[in-house]
Amino acid sequence: MKATRAEEILKSQEIIGVKYRNNDVWIESVDKERSTAYVTYLEQHNTVHVAIGQLEETGPVKPQ
């Protein structure tokens, strides 16, 4: 993923699925200059600092 797309997802009104190392995550913040982001694992609720290039968009998520 590119930094601009990560920022678009962060600002989106829609819920857009994102994975990091095959785990669902929520983008908390984006640093475009460093191409990094803080993401929170949805199941474990811990936040990590990652390279944006390692994030994978999985598409829109429908509310349940």
Residue 22 within a domain: yes
Q: Considering the domain boundaries, does residue 30 fall inside one? A: yes
**Residue 29 sits in which domain range?**
3-59
SS (H, E, C) the chain: CCHHHHHHHHHCCCCEEEEECCEEEEEEEEECCCCEEEEEECCCCCEEEEEHHHEEEEEECCCC
pLDDT of 9 reads 96
pLDDT greater than 80 at residue 14:
yes
How many structural domains is the chain composed of?
1
Residue 54 clears pLDDT 80, i.e. is over it: yes
pLDDT at residue 63 in the model: 73
CATH for 29:
2.30.30
User: In this structure, is residue 64 part of a structural domain?
Assistant: no
